Amino acid sequence: MNLDFSDDQKFLQDEARKFFDKEGGLANTRKVMDESLSHDEALWEKVLELGWTGIRIPEEYDGLGLGHLELCVIAEEIGRALAPIPFSSSVYLFTEAIIKYGSEEIKKNVLPKLVTGEIVGTYAVAEDMSAITESTLSCAVEGDSVTGAKIAVPDAELATHSVVLVKGAKGPELRLVELNSTEVEISLQKNLDKSRSFYKVAFNNAQSSLLGDQGSGWESHVHIMDQAAVLFAFEQVGGSQQALDMAKEYAMERYAFGRQIGSYQAIKHKLADMYVAVTLAKSNCYYGAWALSSESSELPLAAATSRVSATKAFQLCAKENIQTHGGNGFTWEYDCHLFYKRSKVLSLNLGSEASWKEKLVSAMEKTNTLN
Amino acid sequence: MDFNDTPDQAKFRAKCKEWLDGNAKLKDAGKRINVESNLEELIAKAKVWQKKKYDAGWAMLHWPKEYGGINATPIERIIWGQEESKYDVPGSIFEIGLGMCGPVMMQYASQEQKERYLPPMAEGKEIWCQLFSEPSAGSDVAGLRSKAVKDGDEWVINGQKVWTSGAHYSDYGILVVRHDPDLEKHKGLTFFFVDMKSPGITVKPIKQITGTAGSGAGFNEVYFDDVRIPDSQRLGEIGDGWKVAITTLMNERLAVGDAKGADVNEALSLAKDKDDFGQLMIKNQAVRDKLADWFCEANGLKYTKFRTMSALSKGEAPGPEASITKIVSANKLQAIGNFGIDSGDMAGMLIDEEDGMSSFQAAWLGAPGLRIAGGTDEILKNIIAERVLGLPQDPRADKGLPFKDIPSGK
């Protein structure tokens, strides 16, 4: 029985935590919010220098050739620091899609540049205010030309390329599209978390290359979502833990009626509930990490369980952290709102909690892995 | 990350299996396990099985050799437990003795006493119980009132204990009582072990919420009327009762784990089978939402346990994560029980004439007890807040007061 990260992986996590602290921590998140930036450029440059965008890229394409577990520990620290960088869209989604479904030629052209940062990727799915399905997909490809609009696409301004889920002749397809083109129009969309940027991306006969096989695009898309769900769940766990730690520290420092508010059972039980939620989420994420790294057939169930559990934990911890801070928690000055907003964006970015619960129960109906 | 045994663990597991194969039958999957309703038969069968294990060295794996153990590691105990649970063997009536009384005796009894009492305990020849809770001392167990008065080389005990599992068939018990009500609450307590057959002890089974006195693990009230205990049966110094009790309680909280009974798989099977509102329940969004929540909880607990085992497996001390188990599982059990009952709509309250209560009904009726036993939800949340998160203790109204001056309601 070894449901734990290796010493090397823990060391990497520790280094990542120190790195984000040293580079300014939440101050970077605030700067991006306050100055309406798309991301923290200096921080992103340093992440590229560390080689983290190439963690999963095989050595033959200039990457580090490491596994998903290394990515999980970095994700947890990104979540804890609320790092305002396009790491998740480029690494968990775009890079994984290229590694898994790109032709040899695409891999040769794209992967080494993802390591250097010359290419930054994103992943475009949503089209309107409802969960997309195979039959509602409207953005379409004809020949190799993509036409249609995607919304809520993360980091599209900085990104040079996108994987786009489109309707093809034989069903959904994943398509690789270059974004710096006159056939692509990108416009910023306001969102609840100003430390992350989302865009509308309109394609007008934009040139594209097929990823994977024609007709199996939906399965490929679902697989990429499942993988990313585990990685984002680690971000959510990192954020949950940090929100709990903040609430705890405040409950120790703040006095009311002549004593620390953390000595009241109302606060203790609130924080204990947060601890329970984080612990369950973390354990579910370890299961997700195992399924992801071992390419288990349990991934759909493990991913949905990690995702739902981590979504619940982060949303609970973020809102109760504000509550514990009282009026201060509602100010711009205190950091509570940064976690509240990130928890909401992370609860939606791969589809809502309800849609993942639906996936979870569908997977439960097919498998029976408990006990 | 993997779920595999190390080569040593695999070897140990194979040894467990080999012995179990030769001495017990595997559980028949799908067949309902017969719960022995006759107490005497249950005790007799449990004693036979315990003796068999003891003779072969499987009874108390982690105990030292001289008391019947093999100095096993924590992970070996877990492996044994996993393997034994696959076989149709009698439920244990020795858990309190072996899990709580044994460790206290090992730490505080004299050499002579250890040699006298520990082997029969491990062998299942003598059964032990734990006499802590009182009618006015539950969560605040240090507020107990049973009195011990020194008389020569003996102590005279008067008072009442409650919620004592198995007192009606126990041979010995560990007991904490107040020797001095003029001292502060925690300082006036002293710890003993007592022969349950002593004159003056009366055991009365408690009629529970179920309307019965429960099966093997049934609870009792235990009355002490001028019961005499030799001073040699004192464990720890006079006034050290709380310190000794805490050791025991920590063991109890680890022992009270997962709430057994109707689980998410059973809820799923029901939902797949049963119609409601003109369609299968599983098609109902509200039902699916609940199943997802329960799966997240059950799966989270399962892998929390795996994380603890992973730490033990590497010879590390496990983190505090196991502290969430009882809160989550007892509440989940109550919710799943409720769900199963409600699925019967107007007739959900009916109890089947032949089969008796459904597992959902049994879960619903038993869960309130599990949310209380071994630390209430509220006490466990205090423990998480104070011991895991490091929050300050509540200010105490009884702090510094002699016990006799502490306000007490009813």
Q: What per-residue string of b and e applies to A186-221 under the rule 16 or more CB within 10 Å gives b?
A: eeeeebebbbbbbbbbbbeebbbbbbbeeebbbebb
Two tokens at A17? 């935590």
Using a CB-CB cut-off of 8 Å, the residues of chain A touching B313 are 1-2
Using a CB-CB cut-off of 8 Å, the residues of chain A touching B321 are 279, 282-283
Bridge partners, B184 (sequence order): B402
B301 touches chain A (CB under 8 A): yes
CA distance B358 to B346: 16
Across the interface, of B4, B298, B391, the residue whose CB is closest to A252 is: B391
Tokens 């002749």 belong to: A169
- The residue of chain A with its CA nearest to that of B291 is A361
Nearest CA to CA, how far is B5 from chain A (Å)? Answer: 5
Single-letter residue type at A196 = R
DSSP 8-state assignment for residue B214? -
The pLDDT of residue B287 is 97
Bridge partners, B55 (sequence order): none
CA distance A202 to A186: 6
The CATH 1.10.540.10 portion of chain A extends over 7-116
- The residue of chain B with its CA nearest to that of A288 is B303
> What value of ipTM does the predicted structure carry?
0.95
Say if residues A284 and A64 touch (Cβ distance below 8 Å): no
What phi and psi values does residue A251 have, to the nearest 5 degrees? Answer: -65, -25
CA distance B114 to A64: 59
Select from B259, B258, B240 the least CA-distant residue to B248.
Answer: B240
Nearest CA to CA, how far is A356 from chain B (Å)? Answer: 9
- In B324-343, the residues whose Cβ lies within 8 Å of chain A are 324, 327-328
Nearest CA to CA, how far is A80 from chain B (Å)? Answer: 18
Inter-chain CB proximity B295 and A368 less than 8 Å: no
Handedness of CA A356, A360, A363, A369 (dihedral sign): positive
Using a CB-CB cut-off of 8 Å, the residues of chain B touching A371 are 265, 302
- The residue of chain A with its CA nearest to that of B395 is A263
Inter-chain CB proximity A312 and B327 less than 8 Å: no
End-to-end CA distance of chain B: 54
The pLDDT of residue B62 is 85
- The residue of chain B with its CA nearest to that of A268 is B385
Across the interface, of B295, B297, B385, the residue whose CB is closest to A272 is: B385
The pLDDT of residue B33 is 47
Say if residues A277 and A313 touch (Cβ distance below 8 Å): yes
B310 touches chain A (CB under 8 A): yes
CA distance A306 to A236: 10
- The residue of chain A with its CA nearest to that of B310 is A2
Other C-beta atoms lying within 10 Å of the C-beta of residue A110: 23
- Substitution target from B289, B303, B314 for chain A, most A beta carbons within 10 A: B303
What are the per-10-residue average pLDDT scores of chain B (410 residues)? 89 96 82 61 92 92 86 87 90 85 93 95 95 93 96 98 93 97 96 98 91 73 98 97 85 61 93 92 96 97 90 81 90 97 95 91 93 91 94 91 87
The pLDDT of residue A102 is 98
The pLDDT of residue B29 is 59
Q: How far is residue A142 CA from its own chain's centroid?
A: 30
CA distance B344 to B361: 11
Q: Is the pTM of this model over 0.80?
A: yes
Using a CB-CB cut-off of 8 Å, the residues of chain B touching A267 are 391
Two tokens at A231? 């990685």
Residues 6+ apart with CB under 8 A from B237: none
Q: What is the dotted CATH code of the domain comprising A218-366?
A: 1.20.140.10
- The residue of chain B with its CA nearest to that of A276 is B324
Inter-chain CB proximity B1 and A361 less than 8 Å: no
Tokens 């198995």 belong to: B166
The CATH 1.20.140.10 portion of chain A extends over 218-366
CA distance A141 to A177: 11
Torsion of CA A28, A31, A33, A39, to 10 degrees: -60
Two tokens at B341? 């009952």
Residues 6+ apart with CB under 8 A from A142: none
The pLDDT of residue B216 is 55
CATH fold group of domain A121-213? Butyryl-CoA Dehydrogenase, subunit A; domain 2 (2.40.110)
CA distance B19 to B198: 39
What phi and psi values does residue A277 have, to the nearest 5 degrees? Answer: -65, -40
Secondary structure element (H or E) that encloses residue A346, with its range: helix A336-348
Inter-chain CB proximity B288 and A358 less than 8 Å: yes
CA distance B128 to B63: 17
Domains parsed from chain B with CATH numbers: 7-92 (1.10.540), 128-254 (2.40.110.10), 257-372 (1.20.140.10)
Inter-chain CB proximity B296 and A273 less than 8 Å: no
pLDDT in tens, A299-345: 999 999 999 999 999 999 999 999 999 999 999 999 999 999 999 99
In this prediction, the residues of chain A whose per-residue pLDDT falls under 70 are: 368-371
The pLDDT of residue B217 is 61
Q: What is the DSSP string of A40-108?
A: -HHHHHHHHHHTGGGTTS-GGGTS----HHHHHHHHHHHHHHT--STHIIIIIIIIHHHHHH--HHHHH
Across the interface, of A69, A273, A309, the residue whose CB is closest to B300 is: A309
Two tokens at A193? 């978390």
Residues 6+ apart with CB under 8 A from A354: B289
Q: What is the dotted CATH code of the domain comprising A7-116?
A: 1.10.540.10
Say if residues A340 and A347 touch (Cβ distance below 8 Å): no
- Substitution target from B270, B281, B289, B299 for chain A, most A beta carbons within 10 A: B299
CA distance A191 to A198: 7
B399 touches chain A (CB under 8 A): no
Q: How far is residue A298 CA from its own chain's centroid?
A: 20
